[in-house]
Chains A and B, each alone.
Chain A
Amino acid sequence: MTRSFLPITTIAVFILFFWYCFSIVLNSSWAYDRASRNSQTLTFKELVYDTWSQKKPKLPAPHQVFSEMWETTFNKNITSKRSLVYHTWITLSGTIAGFLFGTILGIILALAIVHDRATDLSIMPWIITSQAIPILALAPMIIVVLGSMGFTGLLPKAVISMYLSFFPVVVGMVKGLRSPEILEIDQMKTWSATKTQILFYLRIPRSIPYLFTSLKLGIAASLVGAIVGELPSGAISGLGARMLAGSYYGQTIKIWSALFAAAILAATLVALIGLIQKIISRRMMLQL
Chain B
Amino acid sequence: MSSENMISAKSISLRFDTEDSVVNALQNVSINISRGEFVSFIGPSGCGKTTFLRIIADLERPTEGEIEVNGMTPEEARRARAYGYVFQAPGLYPWRTIAANVRLPLEIMKYSRAEISERIQRVLSLVELNGFEKKFPWQLSGGMQQRVSIARALSFDADILLMDEPFGALDEIVRDHLNLQLLKLWLKTNKTICFVTHSIPEAVYLSTKIVVMSPRPGRIIDVIDSALPKQRPLEIRDTKPFIEIAQRVREGLRKGQSYD
B57 near A190: Cβ-Cβ < 8 Å: yes
The yes or no answer to A201 lying at the interface (CB within 8 A) is yes
Chain B interface residue count, CB cutoff 8 Å, equals 24
Choose among A183, A188, A192, A197 the residue that contacts B89 (Cβ–Cβ < 8 A): A183
Residue of A191, A197, A285, A286 most packed against chain B (CB within 10 A): A191
Q: How far is the CA of A54 from the CA of B85 in the complex (A)?
A: 77
B91 near A187: Cβ-Cβ < 8 Å: yes
Instruction: Given A187-B85, A189-B78, answer yes or no on A284-B95 (Cβ-Cβ < 8 Å).
Output: yes
B94 near A286: Cβ-Cβ < 8 Å: yes
Main secondary structure of the interface of A (DSSP, over half): helix
A205 near B81: Cβ-Cβ < 8 Å: no
B81-107 interface with A by 8 A CB criterion: 81, 83-85, 87-89, 91, 93-95, 104-105, 107
Choose among B58, B83, B91, B93 the residue that contacts A205 (Cβ–Cβ < 8 A): B93
A186 near B87: Cβ-Cβ < 8 Å: yes
The yes or no answer to B79 lying at the interface (CB within 8 A) is yes
**Nearest Cβ in chain B — how far from A73, in angstroms?**
42
A205 near B85: Cβ-Cβ < 8 Å: no
Q: How far is the CA of A284 from the CA of B136 in the complex (A)?
A: 10
A197 near B108: Cβ-Cβ < 8 Å: yes
Q: How far is the CA of A202 from the CA of B57 in the complex (A)?
A: 20
Q: How far is the CA of A76 from the CA of B11 in the complex (A)?
A: 87
Give a binary string over A230-260; 1 marks a CB under 8 Å from any B CB, 0 the rest: 0000000000000000000000000000000
A184 near B83: Cβ-Cβ < 8 Å: no
Chain A residues, CB < 8 A from B94:
284-286
Question: On chain A, which size bracket covers the interface?
Answer: 10 to 19
A191 near B105: Cβ-Cβ < 8 Å: yes
Choose among B85, B89, B138 the residue that contacts A190 (Cβ–Cβ < 8 A): B85
B85 near A286: Cβ-Cβ < 8 Å: no
**Nearest Cβ in chain B — how far from A252, in angstroms?**
51
List the A residue with the shortest CB-CB distance to B109: A191
Instruction: Given A201-B108, A284-B95, A286-B94, answer yes or no on A191-B81 (Cβ-Cβ < 8 Å).
Output: yes
The yes or no answer to B59 lying at the interface (CB within 8 A) is yes
A180-226 interface with B by 8 A CB criterion: 181, 183-184, 186-193, 197, 201-202, 205
B132-153 interface with A by 8 A CB criterion: 136, 138
A193 near B59: Cβ-Cβ < 8 Å: no
Instruction: Given A191-B81, A192-B79, answer yes or no on A201-B95 (Cβ-Cβ < 8 Å).
Output: no
Give a binary string over B105-142; 1 marks a CB under 8 Å from any A CB, 0 the rest: 10111000000000000000000000000001010000
B108 near A187: Cβ-Cβ < 8 Å: no
Q: How far is the CA of A286 from the CA of B137 in the complex (A)?
A: 11
Q: How far is the CA of A241 from the CA of B230 in the complex (A)?
A: 84
Instruction: Given A189-B59, A190-B57, A197-B108, answer yes or no on A286-B87 (Cβ-Cβ < 8 Å).
Output: no
B78 near A192: Cβ-Cβ < 8 Å: yes
Choose among B58, B85, B95, B108 the residue that contacts A193 (Cβ–Cβ < 8 A): B108
Choose among A184, A190, A191, A205 the residue that contacts B59 (Cβ–Cβ < 8 A): A190
Chain B residues, CB < 8 A from A284:
94-95
Chain B residues, CB < 8 A from A181:
91
List the B residue with the shortest CB-CB distance to A184: B91
Give a binary string over A262-288; 1 marks a CB under 8 Å from any B CB, 0 the rest: 000000000000000000000011100
Q: How far is the CA of A183 from the CA of B57 in the complex (A)?
A: 13
List of 9 A-B pairs having minimum Cβ-Cβ separation, nearest first: A284-B95, A190-B85, A191-B105, A193-B108, A191-B108, A285-B136, A197-B108, A192-B79, A187-B91
Provide a sorted-by-A list of 9 A–B residue pairs whose CB atoms are within 8 angstroms.
A181-B91, A183-B87, A183-B89, A188-B108, A189-B78, A190-B57, A192-B81, A201-B104, A284-B94
